[in-house]
Amino acid sequence: MQLLDGKGTAQSIKDELKEKVAQIKAEGGKVPHLAAVLVGNDGASQTYVNAKVKACEQIGFGSTLIHLSEETSEAEVLATVQKLNDDPEIDGFIVQVPLPKQIDEQKVVEAILPNKDVDGFHPVNLGKMLLGIPTLLPATPKGMMLLLERNGIETSGKHCVVIGRSNTVGTPISVLMSRNGNPGNATVTLCHSRTKNLAEITKQADILIVAIGKEGFVSADMVKEGATVIDVGIHRVPSDQTKSGFKLKGDVKFDEVAPKCEFITPVPGGVGPMTIASLLWNTYLTSQKLV
């Protein structure tokens, strides 16, 4: 069993971006600038956004954090989005989800200019992805593809099973894995809550991508010997063994599944850091008009 080290792979990408920023500065160009909008006080969202801001500082990107209260209206969020759309200094931005219940997330996503949508959620970007047109890809699926590519995981001709069909992870990664490219060229099965005999299907997977959003959902009896398992889930589980009072766990029962795997992502330290690296990469691409 070998760990797919998302933290280390993400750091190598950040190192590359740091060099690119230094070159841009040396040539007198505009440094990429990423903004984040956080609405409310969700602990996990705050941690995630802070990590993005810190990553920007590490590589020399400009960064802006706009923190709005839990009571902020939909109209106020949309006005903030419009302001960022109109600001030539901001190359890309994200509105962190989940949003408070009074705000329509889809309406907010669609209000973001596609060329500033570094999360890759806008219908225009998802449509281009489906057609194979260069675009800003969804950050988490893009991070998984980079993780596979940079660790030399063979995907061509493999059977890839994806559990979860969200528009942010499951559906996009199923498209990317089936595309004619490297990574890609896999035969993909997309499973979800209505899939019958799920374990029979997952046991056929050479590559199993788990994005179901349920802690410890995948057990050893659902995984075949020698599989590659990518765990997208992240859950705060109470623990009296840590200072914080919780541990981070994934959608996969790591301790029992790992011994069966050729490769597996840890939680934390797997997909999470790659998502942030992809977000930074998307910001660089759009700042340099490369998509």
What pLDDT band is residue 287 in, cutting at 50, 70 and 90? very high
Which of the following is catalytic: 91, 96, 231, 253? 96
HSE-CB of 206 using CA atoms within 13 angstroms: 13
Q: Is residue 235 part of a domain?
A: yes
- 255 and 164 fall within a common domain: yes
Task: Identify the pLDDT of residue 189.
Answer: 98
Active-site residue, 196 included: no
- 58 and 168 fall within a common domain: no
CATH number at residue 47: 3.40.50.10860
Active-site residue, 106 included: no
Q: Is residue 40 part of a domain?
A: yes
To the nearest 10°, the Cα dihedral for 266, 267, 268, 271?
80
- 105 and 175 fall within a common domain: no
What pLDDT band is residue 221 in, cutting at 50, 70 and 90? very high
- Phi first, then psi, for residue 261 (nearest 5°) are -95, 150
- 86 and 146 fall within a common domain: no
Q: Is residue 17 part of a domain?
A: no
Q: In what order do the strands lie in the sheet containing 2-3?
A: 2-3, 261-264, 227-231, 207-210, 159-163, 187-191
- 96 and 147 fall within a common domain: no
What pLDDT band is residue 244 in, cutting at 50, 70 and 90? confident
Which of the following is catalytic: 5, 91, 117, 119? 119
- 170 and 47 fall within a common domain: no
Task: Report the chain's mean pLDDT, rounded to a whole number.
Answer: 96
Which of the following is catalytic: 52, 116, 128, 158? 52
Q: Is residue 21 part of a domain?
A: no
Is residue 47 over pLDDT 90?
no
Task: Identify the pLDDT of residue 42.
Answer: 83
Q: Is residue 127 part of a domain?
A: no
State how many domains the chain has. Answer: 2
What pLDDT band is residue 235 in, cutting at 50, 70 and 90? confident
Q: Is residue 7 part of a domain?
A: no
Task: Identify the pLDDT of residue 87.
Answer: 98
- 105 and 144 fall within a common domain: no
**139, 118 Cβ separation under 8 angstroms:** yes
From the annotation, which residues make up the binding site for NADP(+)?
164-166, 234
From the annotation, which residues make up the binding site?
164-166, 234
Quote the pTM value: 0.94
Residue where a domain stops, chosen among 48, 78, 113? 113
- Could you tell me the two tokens for 167? 């528009």
Active-site residue, 82 included: no
CATH number at residue 259: 3.40.50.720
- 144 and 265 fall within a common domain: yes
- 40 and 96 fall within a common domain: yes
- Domain extent, residue 188, equals 139-272
* Of the candidates 270, 272, 285, 290, the residue with the CA atom closest to the CA atom of residue 34: 285
- 92 and 155 fall within a common domain: no
* pLDDT tens profile 177-188: 999 999 999 999
Q: Is residue 23 part of a domain?
A: no
- Phi first, then psi, for residue 141 (nearest 5°) are -60, -40
- 152 and 242 fall within a common domain: yes
Buried b (16+ CB within 10 A) or exposed e, 246-282: eebbbbbbbeebbebbebbbbbebbbbbbbbbbbbbb
Paired sense of beta strands 246-249 and 235-238, if any: antiparallel
* pLDDT tens profile 79-90: 999 999 999 999
Task: Identify the pLDDT of residue 112.
Answer: 98
- 76 and 154 fall within a common domain: no
* pLDDT tens profile 107-160: 999 999 999 999 999 999 999 999 999 999 999 999 999 999 999 999 999 999
Q: Is residue 214 part of a domain?
A: yes
210 vs 239 pLDDT, higher one:
210
12-21, 216-225, 229-238, 255-264: least confident range: 229-238
